[in-house]
Structure 1
Protein backbone atom coordinates (compact mmCIF):
# COMPACT_ATOMS: atom_id res chain seq x y z
CA UNK A 1 0.00 0.00 0.00
CA UNK A 2 2.76 2.48 0.87
CA UNK A 3 4.33 1.82 -2.53
CA UNK A 4 1.39 3.32 -4.38
CA UNK A 5 1.64 6.50 -2.28
CA UNK A 6 5.43 6.78 -2.61
CA UNK A 7 5.35 9.57 -5.28
CA UNK A 8 2.86 11.63 -3.25
CA UNK A 9 4.82 11.12 -0.02
CA UNK A 10 8.05 12.07 -1.81
CA UNK A 11 6.40 15.24 -3.14
CA UNK A 12 5.05 16.17 0.30
CA UNK A 13 8.36 15.43 2.00
CA UNK A 14 10.36 17.60 -0.39
CA UNK A 15 7.75 20.37 -0.46
CA UNK A 16 7.29 20.61 3.32
CA UNK A 17 10.99 20.13 4.05
CA UNK A 18 12.17 22.79 1.61
CA UNK A 19 9.33 25.13 2.59
CA UNK A 20 10.33 24.89 6.27
CA UNK A 21 14.06 25.28 5.57
CA UNK A 22 13.56 28.30 3.29
CA UNK A 23 11.16 29.93 5.76
CA UNK A 24 13.55 29.38 8.65
CA UNK A 25 16.40 30.90 6.61
CA UNK A 26 14.19 33.80 5.57
CA UNK A 27 13.05 34.35 9.16
CA UNK A 28 16.66 34.33 10.32
CA UNK A 29 17.62 36.75 7.52
CA UNK A 30 14.92 39.33 8.30
CA UNK A 31 15.73 39.17 12.01
CA UNK A 32 19.21 40.51 11.16
CA UNK A 33 17.61 43.90 10.53
CA UNK A 34 16.17 46.32 13.07
CA UNK A 35 14.64 48.25 10.19
CA UNK A 36 12.97 47.08 6.98
CA UNK A 37 14.89 44.32 5.20
CA UNK A 38 16.40 45.00 1.75
CA UNK A 39 13.70 43.01 -0.10
CA UNK A 40 10.91 45.07 1.45
CA UNK A 41 12.78 48.31 0.69
CA UNK A 42 13.31 47.21 -2.93
CA UNK A 43 9.65 46.27 -3.49
CA UNK A 44 8.49 49.53 -1.92
CA UNK A 45 10.84 51.70 -3.97
CA UNK A 46 10.01 49.87 -7.20
CA UNK A 47 6.27 50.16 -6.50
CA UNK A 48 6.68 53.88 -5.89
CA UNK A 49 8.63 54.20 -9.16
CA UNK A 50 5.84 52.36 -10.98
CA UNK A 51 3.26 54.70 -9.45
CA UNK A 52 5.34 57.70 -10.55
CA UNK A 53 5.34 56.36 -14.12
CA UNK A 54 1.54 56.44 -14.15
CA UNK A 55 1.43 59.99 -12.80
CA UNK A 56 1.17 59.53 -9.05
CA UNK A 57 3.77 61.68 -7.31
CA UNK A 58 5.04 59.34 -4.61
CA UNK A 59 8.16 58.72 -2.58
CA UNK A 60 9.20 56.24 0.08
CA UNK A 61 10.54 56.73 3.55
CA UNK A 62 11.21 54.39 6.48
CA UNK A 63 8.60 54.66 9.20
CA UNK A 64 10.77 55.60 12.15
CA UNK A 65 12.79 52.76 13.64
CA UNK A 66 10.34 50.11 12.51
CA UNK A 67 10.49 47.40 9.86
CA UNK A 68 8.06 49.40 7.75
CA UNK A 69 8.53 51.53 4.65
CA UNK A 70 5.83 54.07 3.86
CA UNK A 71 4.73 55.27 0.44
CA UNK A 72 3.86 58.94 0.59
CA UNK A 73 1.87 61.24 -1.62
CA UNK A 74 2.76 64.76 -0.68
CA UNK A 75 3.27 64.82 3.07
CA UNK A 76 0.72 62.04 3.70
CA UNK A 77 1.38 58.33 4.19
CA UNK A 78 -0.92 56.41 1.86
CA UNK A 79 0.29 52.85 2.53
CA UNK A 80 2.79 51.14 4.78
CA UNK A 81 4.73 48.18 3.41
CA UNK A 82 5.82 45.47 5.85
CA UNK A 83 8.01 42.40 5.47
CA UNK A 84 5.01 40.24 4.54
CA UNK A 85 4.35 42.42 1.49
CA UNK A 86 7.64 41.76 -0.30
CA UNK A 87 6.53 38.55 -2.04
CA UNK A 88 9.28 36.34 -0.64
CA UNK A 89 6.85 33.95 1.07
CA UNK A 90 4.99 33.47 -2.22
CA UNK A 91 8.33 32.84 -3.94
CA UNK A 92 9.21 30.23 -1.28
CA UNK A 93 5.93 28.38 -1.92
CA UNK A 94 6.57 28.49 -5.68
CA UNK A 95 10.17 27.23 -5.44
CA UNK A 96 9.23 24.51 -2.94
CA UNK A 97 6.53 23.19 -5.27
CA UNK A 98 8.86 23.27 -8.28
CA UNK A 99 11.58 21.36 -6.42
CA UNK A 100 9.08 18.81 -5.11
CA UNK A 101 7.39 18.27 -8.47
CA UNK A 102 10.64 18.12 -10.40
CA UNK A 103 10.98 17.72 -14.13
CA UNK A 104 13.55 18.28 -16.83
CA UNK A 105 16.54 20.05 -15.22
CA UNK A 106 17.20 22.30 -18.21
CA UNK A 107 13.59 23.49 -18.21
CA UNK A 108 13.48 23.95 -14.44
CA UNK A 109 16.66 26.07 -14.55
CA UNK A 110 14.93 28.71 -16.68
CA UNK A 111 11.36 28.27 -15.44
CA UNK A 112 12.09 28.95 -11.76
CA UNK A 113 13.87 32.29 -12.45
CA UNK A 114 11.12 33.23 -14.92
CA UNK A 115 8.47 32.39 -12.33
CA UNK A 116 10.28 34.41 -9.66
CA UNK A 117 10.48 37.44 -11.96
CA UNK A 118 6.76 37.12 -12.78
CA UNK A 119 5.89 36.79 -9.08
CA UNK A 120 7.97 39.88 -8.32
CA UNK A 121 6.29 41.89 -11.11
CA UNK A 122 2.84 40.74 -9.95
CA UNK A 123 3.74 41.80 -6.43
CA UNK A 124 4.82 45.24 -7.63
CA UNK A 125 1.43 45.59 -9.34
CA UNK A 126 -0.25 44.39 -6.13
CA UNK A 127 1.53 46.93 -3.89
CA UNK A 128 0.97 49.71 -6.44
CA UNK A 129 -2.67 48.69 -6.77
CA UNK A 130 -3.09 48.78 -3.02
CA UNK A 131 -1.71 52.31 -3.01
CA UNK A 132 -4.30 53.31 -5.62
CA UNK A 133 -7.11 51.65 -3.69
CA UNK A 134 -5.99 53.33 -0.45
CA UNK A 135 -5.76 56.69 -2.22
CA UNK A 136 -8.99 56.63 -4.22
CA UNK A 137 -11.23 53.91 -2.71
CA UNK A 138 -10.14 53.79 0.91
CA UNK A 139 -13.34 52.14 2.11
CA UNK A 140 -12.46 49.02 0.05
CA UNK A 141 -8.82 48.77 1.11
CA UNK A 142 -9.25 46.04 3.75
CA UNK A 143 -11.20 43.72 1.45
CA UNK A 144 -9.00 44.30 -1.58
CA UNK A 145 -5.83 43.79 0.49
CA UNK A 146 -7.09 40.81 2.45
CA UNK A 147 -8.92 38.94 -0.29
CA UNK A 148 -8.75 40.19 -3.89
CA UNK A 149 -5.06 40.99 -4.28
CA UNK A 150 -3.90 38.11 -2.10
CA UNK A 151 -5.98 35.72 -4.19
CA UNK A 152 -4.73 37.24 -7.44
CA UNK A 153 -1.06 36.63 -6.66
CA UNK A 154 -1.76 33.02 -5.64
CA UNK A 155 -3.86 32.47 -8.76
CA UNK A 156 -0.84 33.58 -10.77
CA UNK A 157 1.33 31.04 -8.92
CA UNK A 158 -1.24 28.31 -9.62
CA UNK A 159 -1.17 29.29 -13.30
CA UNK A 160 2.63 29.00 -13.31
CA UNK A 161 2.34 25.53 -11.77
CA UNK A 162 -0.30 24.59 -14.35
CA UNK A 163 2.00 25.72 -17.18
CA UNK A 164 4.82 23.70 -15.62
CA UNK A 165 2.76 20.51 -15.26
CA UNK A 166 0.48 20.58 -18.30
CA UNK A 167 2.44 22.48 -20.93
CA UNK A 168 6.12 21.93 -20.15
CA UNK A 169 5.90 18.43 -18.65
CA UNK A 170 2.95 17.25 -20.76
CA UNK A 171 1.10 15.76 -17.79
CA UNK A 172 -2.67 16.04 -17.91
CA UNK A 173 -3.95 17.08 -14.49
CA UNK A 174 -7.49 15.96 -15.42
CA UNK A 175 -6.21 12.54 -16.45
CA UNK A 176 -4.22 12.10 -13.24
CA UNK A 177 -7.14 13.25 -11.07
CA UNK A 178 -9.63 10.91 -12.78
CA UNK A 179 -7.35 7.87 -12.89
CA UNK A 180 -7.87 4.93 -10.55
CA UNK A 181 -4.25 3.90 -11.04
CA UNK A 182 -1.19 5.85 -9.89
Structure 2
Protein backbone atom coordinates (compact mmCIF):
# COMPACT_ATOMS: atom_id res chain seq x y z
CA UNK A 1 0.00 0.00 0.00
CA UNK A 2 1.36 3.41 -0.94
CA UNK A 3 1.52 6.17 1.66
CA UNK A 4 0.51 8.87 -0.80
CA UNK A 5 -2.74 8.61 -2.73
CA UNK A 6 -2.84 12.02 -4.47
CA UNK A 7 -6.57 12.17 -3.67
CA UNK A 8 -6.09 15.19 -1.38
CA UNK A 9 -4.20 17.36 -3.83
CA UNK A 10 -7.25 19.51 -4.53
CA UNK A 11 -7.98 20.31 -0.88
CA UNK A 12 -10.42 17.49 -0.11
CA UNK A 13 -10.04 14.36 1.97
CA UNK A 14 -12.22 11.46 3.07
CA UNK A 15 -13.81 10.88 6.42
CA UNK A 16 -14.05 7.34 7.75
CA UNK A 17 -16.74 5.75 5.62
CA UNK A 18 -15.69 7.55 2.43
CA UNK A 19 -17.52 10.90 2.60
CA UNK A 20 -15.38 13.57 0.87
CA UNK A 21 -14.99 16.89 2.69
CA UNK A 22 -12.76 19.98 2.45
CA UNK A 23 -9.54 19.69 4.45
CA UNK A 24 -10.67 22.60 6.63
CA UNK A 25 -13.85 20.74 7.67
CA UNK A 26 -14.62 20.81 11.41
CA UNK A 27 -14.13 17.03 11.65
CA UNK A 28 -10.70 17.22 10.04
CA UNK A 29 -9.67 20.10 12.31
CA UNK A 30 -10.87 18.23 15.39
CA UNK A 31 -9.24 14.88 14.69
CA UNK A 32 -6.11 16.59 13.37
CA UNK A 33 -5.78 18.31 16.73
CA UNK A 34 -6.26 14.96 18.47
CA UNK A 35 -3.38 13.65 16.33
CA UNK A 36 -1.26 16.66 17.37
CA UNK A 37 -2.12 16.00 21.02
CA UNK A 38 -1.27 12.32 20.62
CA UNK A 39 2.12 13.26 19.15
CA UNK A 40 2.92 15.58 22.06
CA UNK A 41 1.89 12.91 24.53
CA UNK A 42 4.32 10.59 22.73
CA UNK A 43 7.02 13.23 23.20
CA UNK A 44 6.13 13.48 26.88
CA UNK A 45 6.20 9.68 27.20
CA UNK A 46 9.69 9.66 25.68
CA UNK A 47 11.05 11.80 28.52
CA UNK A 48 12.88 10.43 31.54
CA UNK A 49 9.76 9.84 33.65
CA UNK A 50 8.60 6.93 35.79
CA UNK A 51 7.26 3.84 34.04
CA UNK A 52 3.87 4.27 35.73
CA UNK A 53 3.41 7.52 33.78
CA UNK A 54 4.74 6.02 30.55
CA UNK A 55 2.27 3.12 30.74
CA UNK A 56 -0.62 5.42 31.55
CA UNK A 57 0.30 7.81 28.73
CA UNK A 58 0.46 4.87 26.30
CA UNK A 59 -3.10 3.93 27.28
CA UNK A 60 -4.17 7.54 26.75
CA UNK A 61 -2.62 7.46 23.27
CA UNK A 62 -4.66 4.35 22.44
CA UNK A 63 -7.83 6.09 23.65
CA UNK A 64 -6.96 9.19 21.60
CA UNK A 65 -6.83 7.02 18.47
CA UNK A 66 -10.34 5.89 19.37
CA UNK A 67 -11.46 9.51 19.76
CA UNK A 68 -9.82 10.38 16.44
CA UNK A 69 -11.84 7.66 14.70
CA UNK A 70 -15.03 8.92 16.36
CA UNK A 71 -14.34 12.46 15.15
CA UNK A 72 -13.46 11.19 11.66
CA UNK A 73 -16.82 9.46 11.23
CA UNK A 74 -19.47 11.88 10.04
CA UNK A 75 -22.67 10.69 11.71
CA UNK A 76 -23.94 8.52 14.54
CA UNK A 77 -25.58 6.16 12.03
CA UNK A 78 -22.31 5.65 10.16
CA UNK A 79 -20.44 5.15 13.45
CA UNK A 80 -22.74 2.20 14.22
CA UNK A 81 -22.38 0.75 10.72
CA UNK A 82 -18.59 1.08 10.76
CA UNK A 83 -18.19 -0.40 14.25
CA UNK A 84 -16.29 2.61 15.62
CA UNK A 85 -15.09 2.06 19.17
CA UNK A 86 -16.52 4.22 21.93
CA UNK A 87 -15.12 6.06 24.90
CA UNK A 88 -16.88 4.85 28.04
CA UNK A 89 -17.46 6.11 31.54
CA UNK A 90 -14.85 3.56 32.66
CA UNK A 91 -12.04 5.36 30.82
CA UNK A 92 -13.14 8.66 32.34
CA UNK A 93 -13.23 7.10 35.80
CA UNK A 94 -9.69 5.76 35.36
CA UNK A 95 -8.50 9.28 34.49
CA UNK A 96 -10.29 10.70 37.53
CA UNK A 97 -8.76 8.06 39.80
CA UNK A 98 -5.27 8.84 38.51
CA UNK A 99 -5.84 12.59 38.93
CA UNK A 100 -6.98 12.05 42.52
CA UNK A 101 -4.04 9.71 43.25
CA UNK A 102 -1.47 12.25 42.09
CA UNK A 103 -3.26 15.28 43.52
CA UNK A 104 -3.30 13.71 46.99
CA UNK A 105 0.51 14.00 47.06
CA UNK A 106 0.62 17.69 46.06
CA UNK A 107 0.26 20.92 47.98
CA UNK A 108 -3.05 22.71 47.62
CA UNK A 109 -3.13 25.35 44.94
CA UNK A 110 -3.55 28.95 46.04
CA UNK A 111 -2.59 30.66 42.75
CA UNK A 112 -2.53 30.01 39.05
CA UNK A 113 0.78 28.46 37.99
CA UNK A 114 2.95 29.58 35.10
CA UNK A 115 3.76 26.70 32.74
CA UNK A 116 7.40 25.65 32.70
CA UNK A 117 10.27 25.03 35.08
CA UNK A 118 11.68 22.00 33.28
CA UNK A 119 11.42 20.76 29.66
CA UNK A 120 9.42 17.69 30.71
CA UNK A 121 6.95 19.83 32.65
CA UNK A 122 6.71 22.20 29.69
CA UNK A 123 5.89 19.31 27.32
CA UNK A 124 3.11 18.36 29.70
CA UNK A 125 1.70 21.90 29.66
CA UNK A 126 1.88 22.06 25.86
CA UNK A 127 -0.05 18.77 25.68
CA UNK A 128 -2.60 20.20 28.14
CA UNK A 129 -3.09 23.33 26.02
CA UNK A 130 -3.51 21.24 22.85
CA UNK A 131 -6.01 19.07 24.70
CA UNK A 132 -8.04 22.17 25.61
CA UNK A 133 -8.04 23.21 21.95
CA UNK A 134 -9.12 19.71 20.92
CA UNK A 135 -11.95 19.92 23.43
CA UNK A 136 -13.10 23.28 22.01
CA UNK A 137 -12.99 21.89 18.47
CA UNK A 138 -14.90 18.78 19.54
CA UNK A 139 -17.62 21.03 20.98
CA UNK A 140 -17.75 22.97 17.70
CA UNK A 141 -18.20 19.68 15.86
CA UNK A 142 -20.73 18.51 18.46
CA UNK A 143 -23.09 21.36 17.52
CA UNK A 144 -23.32 19.99 13.96
CA UNK A 145 -22.60 16.29 14.44
CA UNK A 146 -23.64 15.33 17.99
CA UNK A 147 -20.97 13.34 19.80
CA UNK A 148 -21.37 11.00 22.73
CA UNK A 149 -20.94 13.01 25.92
CA UNK A 150 -18.16 10.65 27.03
CA UNK A 151 -15.87 11.96 24.27
CA UNK A 152 -16.29 15.52 25.52
CA UNK A 153 -15.96 14.49 29.16
CA UNK A 154 -12.83 12.45 28.40
CA UNK A 155 -11.09 15.41 26.76
CA UNK A 156 -12.01 17.63 29.69
CA UNK A 157 -10.61 15.14 32.21
CA UNK A 158 -7.54 14.52 30.10
CA UNK A 159 -6.58 18.19 30.25
CA UNK A 160 -7.05 18.05 34.03
CA UNK A 161 -4.89 14.92 34.17
CA UNK A 162 -2.14 16.63 32.16
CA UNK A 163 -2.24 19.65 34.47
CA UNK A 164 -1.94 17.51 37.60
CA UNK A 165 0.77 15.40 35.93
CA UNK A 166 2.71 18.62 35.23
CA UNK A 167 2.46 19.54 38.90
CA UNK A 168 3.47 16.02 39.97
CA UNK A 169 6.48 16.03 37.63
CA UNK A 170 7.43 19.49 38.93
CA UNK A 171 7.56 18.02 42.42
CA UNK A 172 9.45 14.88 41.37
CA UNK A 173 11.98 16.87 39.34
CA UNK A 174 12.45 19.21 42.31
CA UNK A 175 11.74 22.38 40.36
CA UNK A 176 9.86 25.42 41.53
CA UNK A 177 6.25 26.10 40.66
CA UNK A 178 6.08 29.74 39.65
CA UNK A 179 2.86 31.29 40.90
CA UNK A 180 1.11 33.87 38.80
CA UNK A 181 0.61 36.97 40.87
CA UNK A 182 -1.45 39.66 39.11
CA UNK A 183 0.05 43.12 38.84
CA UNK A 184 -1.30 45.62 41.29
CA UNK A 185 -3.07 48.55 39.69
Please, what TM-score do these two structures have when normalized by structure 2? 0.29
Question: Higher RCO, 1 or 2 (CA under 8 Å, sep at least 6)?
Answer: 2
Please, what TM-score do these two structures have when normalized by structure 1? 0.30
